[in-house]
Structure 1
Amino acid sequence: MNTKQARIIIGVVVVAIVISGIWLFSRKAETPPQAVNATQKPQIATSMQQIADKAAETIDEISPDEATQNGSSGNATAGAPKTQPAAPAVAAKQAQTEPAQKQEETTEENVEDDTIRLSFIDNLSAYLVAGYQPPKSRKNPTERGRLAISYKQVNMHYGLDPSLFGNPGGAAGQLRKAVLDYAFQPGMLKSLYTLYADSFVDQMSEQAQTAERSFPTNGGSFATAQLNAAQSAELLTLYANRCSDAARVFKVMAKEPELNDNVERYLLAARNVNTAYEHFWKRDLKAPSQVELAGKEIKQAIVLREELRSKVIQAIRNRNNLNNLSDEQLLYLAQWGHRRSMSAPQPAKSLDNLSEILTDLGKRLKAEAQKIGE
C-alpha cells in the first residue's frame, strides 16, 4: 500500500466518524435539527475540525517505508501491526553494534597479563639484542660474534626493576619472589608463553635487523653501522642455542628429582665454607694450634663444596650434550632450577613445562635466523 492509498482509506474513516457524530448528536437533541441554536453550531463545527486535523496528522506521520511494509504482503490488512523494524532503525542498530565489535577485537589484540606485562617483553627483547657483540666490532675484535649477557645477569637485571612487573610492592628480593611464584603456578608458564611468544620472536627479529654497532674504520677510528643479515642471523642463533641449552638442563632436573638433592647438598656445603671463614675471623685465635685448626676447618669445607659442585655439574652434563655451557653457567641454571622447584606447587611439572617452552622458543628463533640469512 502506498501513501496515496493510505490517505484515501483514512479519509473514508474520517468521513464515517463525522457522519456518526452528527447522527448521535441529533438523536440526543430534544428539538429538531433545524432548531439547533447558534451556540451549538460552532461547537459541532469545532469538533468536526478537530477530528479532521487529527486524521491529517496521522496521515502525515505515515512514512513511505511504513506504507510499503504494511502493504507488501497479499494477506496484510490496513491497520495491521508492523512486524519488521524500519530501515533507519536497522542501520542505527548496526552502527551501535559495529563499534562494540571493533572495540572487542581491539581488546583481544592488546590483551596482556596484569603482572607480566607487554612492557616486559619489549624491554627483554631490547636488552637481549643490546647484549650481542658482532665479530670484528669495537667490543669484540674476534672472528665470531658473542653474547655479553649471561643467564645470571638476565635474572639479576629483571629482579631489580620493579617498573616492569605490575605492582607487587616490597624490596627487590620480595619482588623477584612474587613474580616467579606467580609465573610458576600450575599452567601459568604455558599461558604466558602462548600470550607473548609471537610478539617476542617478532621483536627479536625486527630489532636484530635494525640494531647498530660500532666498527673500526681503515683510518683507525670507529663508525656506527647497521648489522648485516649474517650478523642479525647470528644474534638470533646464539640466543636460540641459549634457550635450547637451558631447556636441556631443566629437562634433566624434571626427570631426575635426586639431582635437586645434590644441588641442595652443594648449597649447604657452600654455606659451611662461609661459616668457617666467619668463625676464623670472629674468634680470638692466639695460639698457633688454634690458627692451624681453624685453617683446617676452612680447607675441609672448601674440599667438600668442590666435590659436590663437580658432582652436580657432571651429573647434568653426562645426561645431555651440554658442551656449549661453561661449568659456571650450568651450575647457575641448576641452582636456579632448584630454587624454583622448592617454591613451585608442582616442581617437576613446572620445570618440565619450562623446558618445553624454551625448546620451542629456541626453534622459533633459529627458524627466524634462517629466514634472515637466506
Structure 2
Amino acid sequence: MKERQTALILIGCAILLAVGSYLLLSDSSEETPVNTAAIKQSVAEPKKQPVQAPDWVNEGQKVAPDYTPATAAPVDTTPPPAVKPAKKQPQTIEISEDAVVTFSFVESLADYVLHRFVPSNLNGKPATLVSAVSLNKHFGRELDGFTVSENDIRASRKAVLDYAFTPTMLKTLYSLYSEGFVVLLTDTAATDERQYIEGKTQTMRTLTNAEIAVMLRLNSRRIERMATVFRAMGQNKSLTEMAGKYLRAAKAVERANGQMQVALADEKNTKQAGARLKSAILQRQQVKEELLLQLKKVCSSCPEAELFYLSQWAYRRVLNTPDSKLKTFTVAADILDDLAKKFVTKAKELE
C-alpha cells in the first residue's frame, strides 16, 4: 500500500516539473525583440583644442638636485696640475782636450758670446756686442782656459800665442773644439738663465730657439768680417808693413813730444821742438789714413777702430817671423769662414 502511494507522489512531481519547464520556455519565445537602432544617440565631435608645447619648453626643466653622495668616501675635485714640457737636456759629446788650450777656453768663449748678446736693444732690435777688440782684451787679460806657468801676464800671453797661433795648431784645436763649441753655445743659451738686456731693463731668463738663431746669424757676420781681414793680411804683406810703419810713426811722435817737454823746461829751442812734434803728428796721421784706406777696400762694413786694432795685432804676430806667420792668418781665415757656416747651419735647424 505504501509503495503505491510513493509511486503516485513521484509521478505527480514529475508532471509538475514538466509543466513548469513548458511555461518558462513559452514566456522567453514571446518576449519583444530589442530595437538597437532606437537606443543609438548622436555623438557630438569633441571641441578641438589649440596645440600647445609642453610646459618644460617655456618654463625649462626643473630637476631637483640630488645631494646624495655616490660613495661614503670624500672625492677630490681639485684639477690636476698642468703638465710642464720636459726641459731640454744638454747634448753630450766626447771631446779630447788639449793640454794648453783646454776645454775651459771653449766654455769661457761661449759665456763671452752669450754675455754680449742683446735680445732687444733700445731700438727694439737684437744685437751682438762681440768684436775682435773686446775678444782679444777678454782673453788677453784673464787667459781663461789656458794652462800657463809664468806669473807674468805678458809672458804668459806670448807663450800661449806662440803655441797656438801656428797653421798646424790652429787646425788641431779647431778639429777638437769646433763641434763642441757650437753645441755648448746653443745648449747653454737654451737651458741656463742669465741677465739679458731688453730695452732699458734686464731680464733673467733663457733664450728661445728663434733668439738663439738670431744670435748665431749676427755673430756669423762678425766672424766672416774677421775672416775677410785675416785673409787679406795673409795674402797682402803690405798691410802688415803699413801697420809697422804706423807704429814707427807713433814712436817718432813720442820722441818729438819728449824733446818738446825738455825745450819747455829749458825755455829754449821751443819753436824748433814744436815744429818737430807737429810734423811727427801729421806723419803719423797720414800713415794711419793710408792704412785704413787699404783695409776699407778689404772690408767696407768693418768699423775703422776694429780694422786699425786688427792691423796692429797682426803686425805684432809677424814681427820676427813674417813669412811663416802670414800663412797662419790664411789658415785662421779658412777656420773662421767654416765656423761662420756652422753657425748659419745651426741657425737654420732652430728656425
- TM-score category by the smaller chain? 0.5 to 0.7
> 1:91-121 deviations in whole A, cap 9, x for unaligned?
xxxxxxxxxxxxxxxxx93421110001111
One-letter code of the match for 2:221?
Answer: N
> 1:5-29 deviations in whole A, cap 9, x for unaligned?
xxxxxxxxxxxxxxxxxxxxxxxxx
How many Å separate the matches in 2 of 1:342 and 1:267?
Answer: 12
Aligned alpha-carbon RMSD (Å): 2.5
* Alignment CA distance shift 1:215-1:162 (3 Å): closer
2:259 to 263, 279, 282: 279
* Alignment CA distance shift 1:115-1:214 (3 Å): closer
Conserved? CA contact 1:285–1:291, under 8 Å: no
How many Å separate the matches in 2 of 1:215 and 1:356?
Answer: 33
> Are 1:112 and 2:92 an aligned pair?
no
One-letter code of the match for 2:161?
Answer: L
Q: State the Cα distance separating 1:215 from its structure 2 match.
A: 5.9
Which residue does 2:349 correspond to in 1?
A: 371
Which residue does 1:228 correspond to in 2?
A: 208
**Equivalent residues in 2 for 1:142-153, closer than 5 Å:** 142-153=123-134
**Equivalent residues in 2 for 1:281-300, closer than 5 Å:** 281-285=261-265, 287=267, 290-300=269-279
> 1:223-274 deviations in whole A, cap 9, x for unaligned?
5343333332222122111111111111111111122211110111122222
Conserved? CA contact 1:215–1:225, under 8 Å: no
Conserved? CA contact 2:263–2:270, under 8 Å: no
One-letter code of the match for 2:114?
Answer: V
How many Å separate the matches in 2 of 1:143 and 1:337?
Answer: 36
Q: State the Cα distance separating 1:335 from its structure 2 match.
A: 1.6
2:234 to 254, 259, 274: 254
Q: State the Cα distance separating 1:206 from its structure 2 match.
A: 1.8
SS across alignment from 2:204: strand
Conserved? CA contact 1:341–1:351, under 8 Å: no
Number of residues of Structure 1 aligned to a counterpart in Structure 2 = 257
Ranges in structure 2 where 5+ consecutive residues have no aligned partner: 1-92
- Output the TM-score relative to the length of structure 2: 0.67
> Are 1:187 and 2:168 an aligned pair?
yes
Higher RCO by CA contacts (8 Å cutoff, separation 6 or greater): 2
Q: State the Cα distance separating 1:196 from its structure 2 match.
A: 0.6
Q: State the Cα distance separating 1:276 from its structure 2 match.
A: 2.2
1:206 to 182, 187, 192: 187
**Equivalent residues in 2 for 1:1-374, closer than 5 Å:** 109-135=94-120, 140-162=121-143, 164-210=145-191, 211-214=193-196, 223-285=203-265, 287=267, 290-318=269-297, 320=298, 322-343=299-320, 346-372=324-350, 374=351
How many Å separate the matches in 1 of 2:165 and 2:197?
Answer: 42
Query: In proportion to residue count, which structure has more helix?
Result: 1
How many Å separate the matches in 1 of 2:149 and 2:124?
Answer: 44
Conserved? CA contact 2:118–2:196, under 8 Å: no
For structure 1, which segment, 116-125 or 344-353, has the greater mean C-alpha deviation from structure 2 after superposition?
Answer: 344-353
One-letter code of the match for 1:141?
Answer: L
How many Å separate the matches in 1 of 2:326 and 2:198?
Answer: 49
How many Å separate the matches in 1 of 2:141 and 2:196?
Answer: 29
How many Å separate the matches in 2 of 1:334 and 1:286?
Answer: 39
How many Å separate the matches in 1 of 2:292 and 2:213?
Answer: 31
Q: State the Cα distance separating 1:186 from its structure 2 match.
A: 4.2
How many Å separate the matches in 1 of 2:154 and 2:257?
Answer: 25
Larger CA Rg, structure 1 vs 2: 2
Conserved? CA contact 2:233–2:326, under 8 Å: yes
How many Å separate the matches in 1 of 2:176 and 2:203?
Answer: 39
Conserved? CA contact 1:125–1:203, under 8 Å: yes
